[in-house]
Amino acid sequence: MNPATRAEQQLYAKLLKERYGPLDQLETERYPRDAVSAERAQGGASEEQWRRQVRETATRYGWRLQHQTADSRRSDASWPDEVFGHIKQRRTLFVEFKTDDGRLRPAQRVWLAHLSDSGFETALWRPSDIHTVLRVLGPARQRAILPPSFRRPAS
């Protein structure tokens, strides 16, 4: 295991312990690495639960939530769920949240591609992306990009 991966796992374990206490059962219950898990068998975390968890992590690292879509029926269609800002780092991050099996609508795909192509940090985050989330929001300051599996809309 390389040092960066080890450090990332240690940070992940520390954050979980700080938030939820002892990790003896928590690791497998909250973020299963296996495709089949007890949590997924029960339907997994909702998109809103996942969003709340990322918000808490972002706040811990100095990010501020600048925009949120509390009720998508009253907001612009397909605009990303949240926009985070980090004043000291001079970064703005557009994030769309989905469950592990959630699907993007075509108009959401267009907006994410447009923002990314315009040079903005743009992310599509699922619960299985927790390690990427920590690298982007945490001290590693990794630039947010759309996942390799992201299919760009046809022009």
Annotate the chain with three-state secondary structure: CCHHHHHHHHHHHHHHHHHHCCCCCHHHHHCCCCCCCHHHHCCCCCHHHHHHHHHHHHHHCCCEEEEECCCHHHCCCCCCCEEEEECCCCEEEEEEECCCCCCCCHHHHHHHHHHHHCCCEEEEECHHHHHHHHHHHCCCCCCCCCCCCCCCCCC
Cβ–Cβ < 8 Å for 81, 111: no
The Cα 15–Cα 57 span in angstroms is 8
Residues 26 and 84 in one domain: no
Residues 63 and 138 in one domain: yes
Domain membership of residue 38 (yes or no) is no
Could you read off the pLDDT tens digit of each residue along the chain, which spans 155 residues? 677 777 877 787 777 667 666 555 444 444 444 333 334 433 467 899 999 999 999 999 999 997 766 655 566 778 999 999 999 999 999 999 999 999 999 999 999 999 999 999 999 999 999 999 999 999 999 999 999 989 998 86
Domain membership of residue 116 (yes or no) is yes
pLDDT of residue 37: 35
State the total domains in the chain: 2
Residues 113 and 64 in one domain: yes
The Cα 152–Cα 112 span in angstroms is 9
The CATH number that applies at residue 143 is 3.40.1350.10
pLDDT of residue 21: 63
Residues 100 and 54 in one domain: yes
pLDDT of residue 144: 95
- Count how many residues are written for the chain: 155
Domain membership of residue 7 (yes or no) is yes
pLDDT of residue 2: 77
**Reported pTM:** 0.69
pLDDT of residue 153: 87
Six token digits for residue 126: 């699922």
Domain that holds residue 21: 1-32
Domain membership of residue 37 (yes or no) is no
Residues 23 and 60 in one domain: no
Residues 101 and 25 in one domain: no
The Cα 37–Cα 60 span in angstroms is 28
Residues 24 and 60 in one domain: no
The Cα 79–Cα 96 span in angstroms is 8
Residues 94 and 119 in one domain: yes
